[in-house]
Amino acid sequence: QLAGLAVIAFGLWLRFGGPMAEFATDKKSPELFFMGLYVLVGAGAIMSAVGFFGCCGAARESQCLIGTFFACLLVIFAGEVTAGVFAFIGKKVAIQEAQKIYEDAYEDYVKNPVGKVNSTIYRYHVALQCCGKGNVEQQTGLPCPENIQLPKASNCLAEIQNVIDTQLRLVGIVGIAIASITIFGMIFSMVLCCTIRNMREMI
């Protein structure tokens, strides 16, 4: 249950608290990236729920409940593998989608550098701690955050790639860790189920 809550908290942080949350507030968003996060959060929610079956099954020595616990863990494991596939296969597409969102906001700002467009591109710059697309001449008039080092932090497209790479690496690490816990849970539940059955046969 604790592992499931940790996965939910991690997934929600990446979705709503990390730099990528700014892209989710736009009309367009990198769908594959967020789809992987939703699968991860769903797997965490199921993990927290099935802890009940495991506890009750062990306490009551019920083969039915322990079998249900095993089946739920199997579903969770499949969900984690799915999230890993999305993270691995969809990384390049997610990067391209996020970069396209920034480029669209950048072009909108160039055409009309006032009002809501100004606020949108400034949010991106603050979240990513960058300014512009790498061309120093293009930074003139851009709403850049204070205390950032230019031109080192001038390429937001490269920063988007770095952010998604880092966050997908975190998703992969968490997925591997939870998958390991899930495998051990399935092994222990089957061992316990077989032990209960053998004890009842002896009686």
pTM summary value: 0.67
CA quadruple 52, 55, 60, 63: dihedral sign = positive
Distances (CA, A) of 200 to 60, 62, 188: 13, 11, 18
32-59 tens-digit pLDDT: 666 667 777 877 787 777 777 777 777 7
Quick check: 202 pLDDT over 80? no
pLDDT of residue 124: 81
pLDDT (average), residues 100-105: 83
pLDDT (average), residues 71-75: 82
Quick check: 20 pLDDT over 70? no
Quick check: 102 pLDDT over 80? yes
Quick check: 125 pLDDT over 80? yes
Quick check: 120 pLDDT over 70? yes
> Residue for token digits 């697309």?
133
Question: Could you tell me which of 202, 203, 197, 181 has the C-alpha nearest to residue 57?
Answer: 197
Percent of all residues in the chain with a pLDDT value above 70, rounded to a whole number: 77
pLDDT of residue 31: 64
126-185 tens-digit pLDDT: 888 888 887 654 555 677 777 776 665 668 888 888 888 887 777 777 777 777 888 888
Give the chain's mean pLDDT.
75
Q: How many helices (H) and strands (E) in the chain?
A: 7, 0
Tokens matching residue 14: 């990446």
Question: Could you tell me which of 123, 158, 161, 159 has the C-alpha nearest to residue 142?
Answer: 123
Quick check: 186 pLDDT over 60? yes
Domains, the chain, ranges and CATH? 89-195 (1.10.1450)
